[in-house]
Amino acid sequence: MKICILTAGKGLRMQDIQKNINKALLPIDGKPIISHIIESFSLEDEFVIGLGHLGKQVKDFLSTAYPERIFHFVNVDNFDGHGNGPGYSLLCCKEKLQEPFHFLPCDMLFDHSLSDVPDGNWIGTKQINSQNSKNFCNILVKNKKVIEIKDKQNCSNEYVAFTGFLHIEDYGQFWKSLEDDETLIDDERQISNGLQGLLETSGLFAVDMEWSDMGNLTNYQNAKNNENDYNFEKSNEFTFFVNNKIIKFFADTANVSNRVKRSKLKQNVFPIVQHDNENFFSYKLFQGDTFYSCGTPELFRQLLEWLNENLWTKKNVDKKILIKSCQNFYYKKTLNRLKSFQNSNPDYIFPKKIDGVTVTPIPKLFEKINWDMLYEGIPSFIHGDLQFDNIIYNEKLNKFILIDWRQDFAGQIEFGDLYYDIAKLYGGILLNYDYIKKGLFKVNQDGDELNIDFKVRDNSSAYIEILEEYIESNKMNKKIVLFLVGLIYINMAPLHHKPFNFLLIGLGTKILNDAISFQE
């Protein structure tokens, strides 16, 4: 069987959530929507994929994720102009579909066995609230046969919605009808133009099926909320778990190339990248547990020894270059991130009291930081996002592996500041990010007074004690670590959604105030 999936549209119903990525690649339960569709069919089936908006992303992902499957990619020349639409995009795929075929949109999930569908032409249907009928192609069914089609019209409860999933057996008649009927609905050419021809000739069956429309922002967000109590994802990068491999997506192509380069510098520490292209790279799934779920104080000591021997290789770097890199990374990046936070939250009041304690608020707080002290870093190879969710341990092999490493340190690939990795570890112990994903935190703000609360592990204090022993034994400055922990939280804030971003601002403010008191 050939299956046609259209991914050409801009996904305007998803608003800004798809500005960096094709809507077919938005993740549900750890894999793109299109992966859920593809994996519903056998390895022998072939796929015809209509490409348009951010089409190269779709092509690159499918080639990376499913090298064993057969894909025919078709470029849709008009996917956002007058007369475009699913009917036009499907016509572009006509040459590859000169046989019976299935068709599905790229933004739907279905739950239906294909072993009990009728012979001949059929379409998937589902009962919906008639108040929403104007948004759908509406079908009137009698004795399981379609007797009328009303596309994007207000209809009574007698009508059911076309899910978008269909099977075309009489493809010759379908293509003729779709080509001959140039009627536009909402300025688009619809698939119903071809279905109408089947209705008037060989007939069309209706198959009632469970279906979820993931091309609607509200529906998609509801699905994401069912995965975790808090959505920790960023809008410009995603992680997919597909076909026994990890596939990373970055909107910024430089992030991909730099991460791949850095992985090759420490192949005993990072996974071996098996495939990469503009927006993606992939590596084999490593069996193990995150340090959050398997860690113990004893294992943490072992981890620090392993990091010291295998990751934190000291680098001989010109002092001026180090100072400049630290200045760009700590000071300039923080100011840019703070500006981004304020642009996204123009009415936000920076707290002057946190958990009942008076604090110096941002940005006045920045005037009290000894920035020059932070620029005297320790040049070393670093991970760059070294927190427990990014440390995987296989107990059977007694082996660590580090994932989600940073692409650079202020543009530097071969070195960063060792203090930054230590501060990342420290920050991930104080604030357990796996608990955040479960929604185990509270944020309440009234004017300039903020109260925050979050769950921490019982052994967090033991981890902190061990890490501070490492800091002291290696003659590092604890004050620098504390300052960087506060800056890390503030830098994270604009990358995350409400209310976690407000918790990060508050916690960062609190820690920086404590660090300044410690400094004085």
DSSP code at position 272:
P
220: closest CA among 485, 36, 440? 36
Contact 104, 4 (CB under 8 A): yes
Q: What pLDDT is recorded for position 78?
A: 87
Helix, strand, or coil (residue 451): strand
Residue 520 has pLDDT above 60, yes or no: no
Instruction: Give residue-wise pLDDT tens across range 380-394.
Output: 999 999 999 999 999
Residue 447 has pLDDT above 60, yes or no: yes
Q: What pLDDT is recorded for position 424?
A: 98
Q: What pLDDT is recorded for position 519?
A: 58
Residue 423 has pLDDT above 70, yes or no: yes
Conformational region of residue 75, where left means phi above 0, alpha means psi within -120 to 50, and beta covers everything else: beta
Residue 315 has pLDDT above 90, yes or no: yes
Residue 326 has pLDDT above 80, yes or no: yes
Edge-to-edge, what's the strand order for the sheet holding 391-394? 289-290, 391-394, 399-402
What average pLDDT score do residues 165-194 get?
94
Percent of the chain with pLDDT over 70: 99
How far is 154 from 256, CA to CA, in rounded Å?
47
Residue 7 has pLDDT above 90, yes or no: yes
Residue type, 112: H
229 or 259: which leads in pLDDT: 259
Q: What pLDDT is recorded for position 114?
A: 85
Instruction: Give residue-wise pLDDT tens across range 111-138.
Output: 888 888 999 999 999 988 888 888 889 9
Q: What pLDDT is recorded for position 111?
A: 84
Contact 292, 387 (CB under 8 A): no
Residue 517 has pLDDT above 70, yes or no: yes
Contact 48, 151 (CB under 8 A): no
Q: What pLDDT is recorded for position 509?
A: 98
Q: What pLDDT is recorded for position 444?
A: 97
pLDDT band at 472 (very low <50, low <70, confident <90, very high): very high
How far is 25 from 28, CA to CA, in rounded Å?
9
How far is 186 from 168, CA to CA, in rounded Å?
24
Neighbour-count burial for 283-311, b at 16+ CB within 10 Å, e otherwise: beebebebbbeebeeeebeebbebbeeeb
How far is 477 from 457, CA to CA, in rounded Å?
26
Q: Please, what is the average pLDDT of the chain? A: 94
How far is 520 from 518, CA to CA, in rounded Å?
5
Residue 325 has pLDDT above 90, yes or no: yes
Instruction: Give residue-wise pLDDT tens across range 266-283.
Output: 999 999 999 999 999 999
Percent of the chain with pLDDT over 90: 85
Helix, strand, or coil (residue 259): helix
Q: What pLDDT is recorded for position 9?
A: 86
- Give this prediction's pTM: 0.90
CB-facing half-sphere around the CA of 320: CA atoms within 13 A: 0
What average pLDDT score do residues 342-356 get?
96
Residue type, 517: S
Residue 420 has pLDDT above 90, yes or no: yes
